């Protein structure tokens, strides 16, 4: 059975909470599980409870699927950048790396080695963007310059 795909417009224009559909789907599944318990006592009761469960499950499935698709779309739109501007950047040395390199440099070459070791510590560059997202909200986001998120934001960067 193939899953029906909903269009983006259909999902965004749907204002229903689908609470009834979600209720039917959940209780349909519960009835199917409960029917297995009745199988031990009576095959007639098993069939009646299982039939009720299947009907409830099928009736609620369409609305429940639509609800799930809409929630995925809203999450995607909330995270998808449409435009971005760089508002700041900074570089920081990693403390652990600086301490280890300074100690090794000091042991090998004395004070000049310690200074050089601390200066050669690994650094981390972060960039702060002002981002407008697909769903319309906007805000700042600070990311590492070597991350995949940085590349996504740079693709929509206006600077």
38-54 pLDDT, tens digit per residue, is 888 888 989 999 999 99
102 phi/psi in degrees, rounded to 5: -65, -45
103-129 pLDDT, tens digit per residue, is 787 788 777 777 667 666 666 788 888
Two structure tokens written together for 57: 């499950």
Taking residue 105's Cβ as centre, other Cβ atoms within 10 Å add up to 20
Mean pLDDT value across the chain: 81
**Domain definitions of the chain by residue range:** 8-79, 81-155
């Amino acid at each position: 059975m193939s899953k029906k795909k909903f269009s983006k417009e259909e999902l965004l224009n749907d204002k229903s909470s689908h609470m009834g559909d979600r209720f039917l789907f959940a209780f349909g599944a519960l009835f199917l599980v409960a029917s297995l318990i009745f199988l031990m006592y009576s095959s007639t009761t098993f069939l009646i409870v299982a039939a009720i469960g299947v009907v409830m499950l099928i009736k609620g499935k369409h609305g429940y699927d639509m609800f799930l698709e809409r929630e995925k779309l809203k999450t995607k739109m909330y995270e998808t950048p449409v435009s971005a501007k760089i508002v700041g950047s900074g570089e920081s040395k990693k403390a652990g790396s600086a301490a280890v390199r300074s100690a090794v440099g000091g042991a090998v070459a004395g004070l000049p080695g310690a200074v050089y070791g601390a200066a050669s510590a690994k650094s981390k560059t972060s960039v702060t963007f002002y981002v407008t997202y697909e769903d319309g909200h906007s805000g700042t986001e600070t990311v590492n310059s070597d991350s995949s998120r940085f590349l996504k934001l740079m693709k929509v960067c206006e600077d």
